[in-house]
Amino acid sequence: MRTNGSAPEPYAGVKGNAHYLANPQLADKPSLQFMNILDLPFSAALDTVLLPFDLSRNKRTTEATDSSPTKTTP
């Protein structure tokens, strides 16, 4: 679950699956909820493999945000 221009969120796939399992009424196709159950272990494995990448991207995004000049009003 990403928004445009944001850094990858750690374990986004697992969080997305858990969200729709906990809130099936929010799913686009509630009849396919069983797919979230089947996808959960694969999402967990892939999210774990991609965790170092996600954390490094989050660190760079945070550093860029922190070092950007802020506007102050007099």
Q: Where are the domains of the chain?
A: 12-67
- Mean pLDDT for all residues in the chain: 83
Give the count of beta carbons closer than 10 Å to the beta carbon of residue 17.
22
| pLDDT over threshold 70, residue 10 | yes
pTM (2 decimals)? 0.67
Rounding to the nearest 10 degrees, give the CA dihedral for residues 66, 71, 73, 74: 90
Amino acid 4: pLDDT: 56
Report residue 20's pLDDT band, with 50, 70 and 90 as the boundaries: very high
CA-nearest of 3, 6, 1, 4 to 62 is 6
**Rounded distance between C-alpha atoms, residue 39 and residue 50, angstroms:** 16
Residue range 36-58: average pLDDT? 93
Q: Which two tokens stand for residue 54?
A: 């996600």
